[in-house]
C-alpha cells in the first residue's frame, strides 16, 4: 500500500470506478438483454450513480494516489459536465440508432468508458494520468465514430480520426517525455518548479512547450490542427458528434488548462503569443469556412472550431475572469451545442439522411415549437442575448479587455458578426423557406426531453446567470 496507494484513494475516484465497473456489467448484460433500449435506461442509471458518488465528494479538495489525481472543485465541475453530456447523448441516441439499424449495447458502454477517461483528464495532476485518461477517451471515441459499420462515411471518418489522433497523441507524448526529461517528474507542480529554474529561452523547454501545445491543439481542434473535424463530425453518427463536440472538447480543455496553467505556467510569456495567434486563426478560419457550407453538419463542425478559438481567449487572459469564462463557456456550450445537434439527430429519418441545410426548409411550418427552440440554440451559439451564449461570450470579452488584449478582443468581436451570417442561414431555411415533402423530424420522448433540458438551461442562464457564474468562479479558485 504505502504512500502511493491508500484505501481512501478508492473513495476519491469512486465516480470513475462506478462508470468502469458498471460499464463492464453493461457489456455482459448486452449478451442477455435483447431490447437495447433497456440498456440505455441502465446506462442512465449508471451515470446517475456516478453523479451521486461525485455529489457525495462535495467540495472536498484533496489529492489521491500520491498526487496523481486531484479532487477539487475544478475537476468536479467538469465531471458534472461530462456526466450531463453523456446522459443527454444517451437520451438522443436510442431512436437514432434504431433508424440507423445499428443499435448495439456496446454503444452505451463505450460512452461510459469515454466519460470515465474524460473524468481523469479533468482531475489528473500528473502527465501519466492525464495521458491515460486522454487515450481512454480517445479510443472509445474512435470506435464510436465508426459505429455505423455499413456506412462508408462513418468508417472513413473513424479511420481518419484514428490516424490523425494517434499521430497527435504521439506528438503530445513526445512533449511530455521532454518535460519529464527536464524535471525528472511527471507531476505538474514539480514540472512547473523545474521549468521556472531554467532560463526562459531554454530551447528544450520551448520544444516541449510547442509539442505539448500542438498535441492539445489537435484535441481541441484549433488551427492548424482542425482539418479532421469536419470529416469526423460529418461521418460519425450524429449522436456521437453531439457528444464529441461538447464533452470531448470540454475534457480536452480541462486537460489543457491543467497543463498550461500549472505545469507549463512558468513559460506563459512564451506560449502566450502562440496561443494568441492560434486563437485568432482558429476563430477566423472556423467561421470563414462555415460560411460556405451547405451541409449543416459540416457547418456546425466549423462553427465548433471557431468556438474552441473563443474559449482560448479566456486562457490567454489567464486571470480569474478568464478562467471563469473558460469553464462557464464550456458549460453553456454543452447545452446550446448539444441542443442544436439534437435537432440534427432528429432530422435523420428512415429514408432521409437529413444533413443538408435544405433539409431544414420550412421546419417552422411543420414543427413550429421545435424550430423556435432551434432558433434559441442558434442565437445562443451566435452570442445574441438573452441567451446563455451571450453571457458566456460576454465573460470572455470581459476577460480579454480586463487584461488589455484589446486587438484580440476586436478581432474576436468582429468574428461574432461573421458567425451570425451562417447561423442565420439555418434560421432562414427554417422560418422563411417553403417546406418540402422532405421536411420533418423523427422525434422521440428522449429527444424531446433533451431539447427541453437544453432549452431551459440556455434561456435560464441567459436571463439569470448569477448562480452559474458563481459556480464557475468557485471551480477556478484552484488556479
Partner 1 sequence: MDFFETHILTIVAFLPLAGAIVLMFFNKENKLMIRLWANAVALLGFLVSVPLVFLFNYEDSGSMQFTESFTWIETLGAEYSVGIDGISLLLILLTTLLGSIATLSSWEAIQDRVKEYYIFMLLLQTGMLGVFIALDFFMFYVFWEVMLVPMYFLIGIWGGPRKLYAAIKFFMYTLVGSVLLLLGILSLYWAYPTIAAQVPEIAAVFGTDYTFSIEAFHAIGPYLEFDLQYWVFLAFFVGFAIKVPMFPFHTWLPDAHVQAPTAGSVILAAVLLKMGTYGFVRFSLPILPEATVYFVPMMIALSIVAIIYGALVAMMQKDMKSLVAYSSVSHMGFVMLGMFALNPNGLNGSILQQINHGITTGALFLIVGMIYERRHTREISEFGGLSSIMPVFATVFLIMTMSSIGLPLLNGFIGEFTILQGALQENIWWAVAGVSGIVLGAAYMLWLYQRTMFGPLDNPKNEGLRDLNLREIVTLVPLIILVFWIGIYPAPFFKALDGPVNKLVEAVRPGYFDAPPLAARLPGVVDTTVEPGDD
Closest by Cα among 187, 472, 130, 191 to 314? 472
Q: What is the closest distance, in whole angstroms, from the C-beta atom of residue 207 to partner 1 in the complex?
A: 36
Give the number of residues in contact with partner 1, rule: CB under 8 A: 29
Q: Which is nearer to partner 1, 249 or 393 (CB)?
A: 393
- The answer to whether 140 and 110 have CB atoms below 8 angstroms apart is yes
Q: Which is nearer to partner 1, 139 or 375 (CB)?
A: 375
Q: Which one of the spans 39-47, 281-289, 344-352, 395-403 is the region binding partner 1 (CB under 8 A)?
A: 395-403
Q: What angle do CA 376, 377, 379 make, to 5 degrees?
A: 65
Choice from 6, 98, 320, 394 touching partner 1 (CB under 8 A): 394
Closest by Cα among 161, 76, 85 to 476? 76
Q: Which is nearer to partner 1, 125 or 321 (CB)?
A: 321
Q: Does 255 bind partner 1 (CB under 8 A)?
A: no
Q: What is the closest distance, in whole angstroms, from the C-beta atom of residue 409 to partner 1 in the complex?
A: 5
Q: Which is nearer to partner 1, 138 or 360 (CB)?
A: 360
Choice from 49, 349, 402, 478 touching partner 1 (CB under 8 A): 402
Q: What is the closest distance, in whole angstroms, from the C-beta atom of residue 415 to partner 1 in the complex?
A: 9
Q: What is the closest distance, in whole angstroms, from the C-beta atom of residue 424 to partner 1 in the complex?
A: 6
Choice from 329, 397, 444, 455 touching partner 1 (CB under 8 A): 397
Choice from 148, 191, 332, 379 touching partner 1 (CB under 8 A): 379
Q: What is the closest distance, in whole angstroms, from the C-beta atom of residue 269 to partner 1 in the complex?
A: 22
Q: What is the closest distance, in whole angstroms, from the C-beta atom of residue 430 to partner 1 in the complex?
A: 11
Q: What is the closest distance, in whole angstroms, from the C-beta atom of residue 342 to partner 1 in the complex?
A: 22
Q: Which is nearer to partner 1, 22 or 397 (CB)?
A: 397
* Per-residue mark of binding to partner 1, 404-433 (x: CB under 8 A): --x--xx--xx-xx--xx--x---x--xx-
Q: Does 384 bind partner 1 (CB under 8 A)?
A: yes
Q: Does 456 bind partner 1 (CB under 8 A)?
A: no
Q: Give the footprint of partner 1 on this chain (CB under 8 A).
A: 379, 384-386, 390, 394, 397-398, 401-402, 406, 409-410, 413-414, 416-417, 420-421, 424, 428, 431-432, 464-466, 469-470, 473
Amino acid at each position: 500500500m504505502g504512500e502511493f496507494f491508500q484505501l481512501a484513494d478508492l473513495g476519491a475516484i469512486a465516480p470513475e470506478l462506478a462508470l468502469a465497473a458498471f460499464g463492464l456489467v453493461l457489456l455482459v448484460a448486452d449478451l442477455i438483454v435483447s431490447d437495447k433500449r433497456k440498456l440505455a435506461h441502465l446506462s442512465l442509471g449508471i451515470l446517475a450513480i456516478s453523479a451521486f458518488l461525485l455529489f457525495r465528494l462535495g467540495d472536498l479538495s484533496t489529492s489521491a494516489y500520491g498526487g496523481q489525481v486531484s479532487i477539487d472543485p475544478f475537476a468536479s465541475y467538469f465531471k458534472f459536465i461530462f456526466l450531463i453530456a453523456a446522459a443527454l447523448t444517451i437520451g438522443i441516441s436510442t431512436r437514432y440508432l434504431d433508424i440507423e439499424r445499428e443499435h448495439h449495447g456496446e454503444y452505451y458502454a463505450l460512452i461510459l468508458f469515454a466519460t470515465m477517461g474524460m473524468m481523469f483528464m479533468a482531475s489528473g495532476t500528473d502527465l501519466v494520468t492525464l495521458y491515460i485518461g486522454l487515450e481512454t477517451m480517445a479510443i472509445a471515441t474512435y470506435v464510436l465514430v465508426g459505429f455505423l459499420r455499413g456506412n462508408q462515411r462513418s468508417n472513413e471518418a473513424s479511420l481518419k480520426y484514428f490516424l490523425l489522433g494517434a499521430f497527435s497523441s504521439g506528438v503530445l507524448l513526445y512533449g511530455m517525455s521532454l518535460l519529464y526529461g527536464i524535471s525528472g517528474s511527471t507531476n505538474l507542480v514539480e514540472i512547473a518548479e523545474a521549468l521556472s529554474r531554467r532560463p526562459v529561452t531554454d530551447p528544450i523547454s520551448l520544444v516541449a512547450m510547442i509539442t505539448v501545445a500542438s498535441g492539445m491543439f489537435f484535441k481541441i481542434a484549433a488551427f492548424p490542427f482542425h482539418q479532421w473535424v469536419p470529416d469526423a463530425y460529418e461521418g460519425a453518427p450524429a449522436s456521437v458528434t453531439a457528444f464529441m463536440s461538447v464533452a470531448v472538447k470540454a475534457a480536452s480543455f480541462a486537460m489543457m488548462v491543467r497543463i498550461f496553467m500549472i505545469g507549463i505556467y512558468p513559460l506563459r510569456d512564451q506560449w502566450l503569443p502562440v496561443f494568441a495567434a492560434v486563437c485568432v486563426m482558429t476563430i477566423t478560419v472556423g467561421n470563414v469556412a462555415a460560411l460556405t457550407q451547405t451541409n449543416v453538419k459540416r457547418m456546425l463542425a466549423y462553427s465548433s472550431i471557431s468556438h474552441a478559438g473563443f474559449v482560448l481567449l479566456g486562457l490567454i487572459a489567464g486571470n480569474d475572469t478568464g478562467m471563469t469564462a473558460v469553464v462557464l463557456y464550456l458549460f453553456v456550450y454543452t447545452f446550446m451545442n448539444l441542443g442544436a445537434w439534437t435537432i440534427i439527430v432528429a432530422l435523420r429519418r428512415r429514408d432521409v439522411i437529413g444533413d443538408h441545410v435544405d433539409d431544414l426548409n420550412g421546419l417552422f411550418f411543420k414543427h413550429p415549437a421545435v424550430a423556435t427552440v432551434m432558433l434559441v440554440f442558434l442565437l445562443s451559439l451566435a452570442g445574441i442575448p438573452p441567451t446563455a451564449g451571450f453571457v458566456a461570450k460576454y465573460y470572455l470579452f470581459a476577460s480579454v479587455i480586463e487584461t488589455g488584449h484589446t486587438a484580440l478582443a476586436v478581432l474576436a468581436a468582429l468574428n461574432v458578426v461573421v458567425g451570425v451570417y451562417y447561423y442565420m442561414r439555418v434560421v432562414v431555411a427554417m422560418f422563411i423557406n417553403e417546406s418540402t415533402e422532405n421536411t420533418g423530424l423523427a422525434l422521440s420522448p428522449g429527444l424531446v426531453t433533451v431539447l427541453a433540458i437544453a432549452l431551459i438551461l440556455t434561456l435560464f442562464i441567459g436571463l439569470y446567470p448569477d448562480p452559474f457564474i458563481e459556480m464557475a468562479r468557485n471551480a477556478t479558485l484552484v488556479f
